[in-house]
Homo-oligomer: A and B are copies of this chain.
Amino acid sequence: MTQGEARLIEQASRNLGPKVVITDPKEIEPWVSDWRGRVHGASPAILAPGSTREVAEIVVLAAEHRVPLVPQGGNTGMAAGATPPSDGSAVLLSMRRMNRIRSVSIENRLAIAEAGVILATLHDAAHDVGMRFPLTLGARGSCTIGGLTSTNAGGTQVLKFGTMRTLVAGVEAVLPDGSIHDGLSGLKKDNRGYSLDQLLIGAEGTLGVVTAVALRLVSAIASRAVAWAGVGSPAKALDLLRFLETRTSHVEGFELVPQDSLDLVLKHVPGTRPPLSGTHAWHVLIEATVSDAGTDISAELERLLASALDAGNIQDATIAANEAQAEAFWKIRDSISEAERAEGQTLAHDISVAVAQMPRFITEASAEVERAFPGVIASGFGHLGDGNIHFHVRAGSHAAPDWYEAEGAAITRFVDDLVTVAGGSISAEHGIGQLKLSEFARLASPARIHALRAIKHALDPLGIMNPGKLVP
Q: Mark A191-202, 1 if CB is under 8 A from B, else 0.
A: 111111011011
Q: How far is the CB of A152 from chain B (nearest CB, A)?
A: 5
Given contacts A107-B356, A165-B198, contact A440 B193 (CB under 8 A): yes
**A138 is an interface residue with CB less than 8 A from chain B:** no
Cα(A319)–Cα(B355), bound, Å: 39
Is the pair B452, A177 in contact by a Cβ cutoff of 8 Å? no
Is the pair A387, B187 in contact by a Cβ cutoff of 8 Å? yes
Which positions in A face B, CB cutoff 8 Å?
105, 107-110, 151-152, 154, 158, 163, 165-166, 175, 177, 179-182, 185-196, 198-199, 201-203, 207, 219, 242, 245-249, 291-292, 352-356, 383, 386-388, 423-432, 440, 444-448, 450-452, 454-455, 457-459, 470-471
Q: How far is the CB of A187 from chain B (nearest CB, A)?
A: 5
Residues of B within 8 A of A179 (CB): 446-447, 450
Residues of B within 8 A of A195 (CB): 165, 198-199, 201-202
Is the pair B452, A194 in contact by a Cβ cutoff of 8 Å? yes
Cα(A202)–Cα(B444), bound, Å: 24
Residues of B within 8 A of A203 (CB): 194
Given contacts A194-B199, A459-B454, contact A158 B188 (CB under 8 A): yes
Cα(A444)–Cα(B194), bound, Å: 13
Residues of B within 8 A of A108 (CB): 354-356
11 A-B contact pairs sorted by A residue (CB < 8 Å): A107-B356, A175-B451, A181-B445, A181-B448, A187-B352, A188-B387, A193-B452, A193-B470, A199-B455, A451-B459, A458-B458
Taking A179-B450, A189-B387, A455-B455 as known contacts, 11 extra A-B pairs with beta carbons closer than 8 A to each other, sorted by chain A number, are: A185-B424, A185-B425, A187-B353, A190-B425, A192-B425, A194-B207, A194-B451, A195-B199, A195-B201, A196-B448, A451-B459
